[in-house]
């Protein structure tokens, strides 16, 4: 039987949550589905070696901001390569690859919403609000990682009519389980003492992640060590802000060890995002047994184990976060709850495969 041919449009790969989602499903399904990755040529973290080792390859195209070059590159590829499905993961920007996919008669065109929006990012919010008007024009299948992400991109009517399919942000639970060896290796590499209580977060260095709130927390809690693990276009700005504020107990770490190692080095996890489609890193932290402090802007589905708290993120709410951190909560291991909720990648990948099979008939 021929494999289903799927073009995964990932966009810019920077080592964020969407890329982690895509790679998790790819690792499970690479021998059952013929995947091709399409990424923009400004990507900084494409795992070429793993993708090629698992039998796929990467096609580079310009970022859709240069729409003429983007359309030309997609046209050249789609003229000579036929697919059963295009699965686009770039939220409201999916309108651009899906338009070309429709032109070249790819029968199944999936728009996958991984995000929502915040009015605090005024220009970005304005652009998303405009582009989402076209979210259903070229797609004929709607996927989302959460109710809020689905409602934001595809509208309440489509969601309430059951037209939006929930695809869980599942993880390899064993990979993210607590490991004392990982803890020791990370702490040794960063010269962190056993006695240090580490407040950590992992994610792209982007405005939506609200890392400046963590800088404010660190400034008010000099007895704790704060780690921001990740890379992105805000790195220089954040480092300048840390220096300007004179914060000595916060460090930005560009990871040189596997990302799952860092959770074991933390003692509590924080995620004060302005918005999230879901918040994949939060599940990874829960799988590690960490108490998770999450912004109230995250979807209600995120705190699967219940081990943690949602908190508001205004300036006058800093003391609420510090009150929880000061409790120094111990790890609690509730991975079975993550499995029961359907967020184990081994089961979730089978569900995605069944969706693909039904869509291609």
What is the per-residue pLDDT for 117?
Answer: 53
The Cα–Cα gap between 22 and 14 comes to 12
Structure tokens at 273: 């995002």
Helix (H, G, I), strand (E, B), or coil: what is residue 269? strand
What is 4-170+344-360's CATH number? 3.40.50.2000
What is the per-residue pLDDT for 122?
Answer: 47
Q: Give the CATH number of domain 180-340; options: 3.10.580.10, 1.20.1740.10, 3.30.9.10, 3.40.50.2000.
A: 3.40.50.2000
CA geometry: angle at 345 spanning 278 and 177, to 5°? Answer: 85
Q: How many C-beta atoms surround the C-beta of residue 200 within 10 A?
A: 23
**Element at 320 (helix H, strand E):** helix 318-326
- Ranges of beta strands (E only) in the chain are 4-11, 33-40, 58-61, 85-88, 108-113, 141-144, 164-166, 198-202, 225-229, 250-253, 268-271, 292-295, 308-311
This prediction's pTM: 0.88
Kindly report, as residue ranges, where domains of CATH 3.40.50.2000 are found in the chain.
Answer: 4-170+344-360, 180-340
* Mean pLDDT per 10-residue segment, the chain (361 residues): 91 85 95 96 92 96 92 96 96 91 96 72 56 76 92 92 94 96 97 97 92 97 96 92 96 94 98 90 96 94 95 95 97 95 94 96 86
> CA 182 from chain center: how many Å?
22
């Amino acid at each position: 039987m021929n494999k289903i041919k799927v073009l995964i449009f990932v966009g810019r790969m920077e080592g964020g949550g969407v890329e982690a989602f895509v790679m998790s499903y790819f690792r499970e399904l690479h021998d059952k589905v013929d995947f091709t990755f399409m990424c923009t040529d400004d990507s900084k973290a494409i795992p070429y070696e793993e993708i090629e080792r698992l039998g796929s390859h990467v096609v580079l195209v310009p970022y859709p901001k240069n729409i003429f070059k983007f359309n030309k590159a997609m046209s050249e590829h789609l003229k000579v390569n036929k697919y059963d499905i295009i699965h686009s993961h770039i939220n409201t920007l999916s309108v651009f690859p899906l338009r070309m996919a429709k032109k070249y008669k790819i029968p199944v065109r999936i728009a996958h919403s991984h995000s929502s929006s915040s009015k605090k990012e005024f220009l970005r919010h304005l652009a998303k609000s405009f582009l989402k008007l076209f979210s259903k024009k070229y797609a004929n299948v709607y996927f989302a990682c959460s109710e809020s992400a689905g409602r934001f991109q595809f509208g309440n009517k489509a969601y309430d009519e059951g037209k939006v399919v929930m695809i869980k942000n599942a993880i390899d639970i064993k990979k993210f389980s607590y490991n004392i060896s990982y803890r020791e290796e990370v702490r040794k590499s960063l010269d962190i003492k056993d006695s240090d209580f580490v407040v950590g977060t992992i994610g792209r260095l982007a405005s939506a992640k609200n890392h400046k709130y963590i800088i404010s927390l660190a400034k008010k809690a000099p007895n704790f060590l704060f780690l921001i693990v990740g890379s992105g276009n805000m790195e220089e700005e954040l480092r300048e802000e840390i220096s300007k504020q004179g914060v000595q107990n916060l460090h930005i770490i560009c990871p040189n060890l596997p990302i799952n190692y860092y959770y074991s080095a933390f003692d509590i996890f924080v995620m004060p995002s302005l918005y999230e489609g879901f918040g994949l890193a939060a599940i990874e932290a829960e799988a590690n047994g960490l108490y998770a402090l999450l912004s109230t802007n995250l979807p209600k589905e995120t705190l699967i184990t219940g081990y943690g708290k949602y908190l508001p993120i205004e300036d006058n709410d800093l003391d609420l976060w510090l009150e929880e951190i000061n409790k120094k909560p111990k790890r609690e291991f509730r991975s079975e709850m993550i499995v029961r909720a359907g967020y184990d990648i081994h089961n979730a990948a089978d569900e995605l495969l069944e969706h693909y099979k039904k869509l291609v008939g």
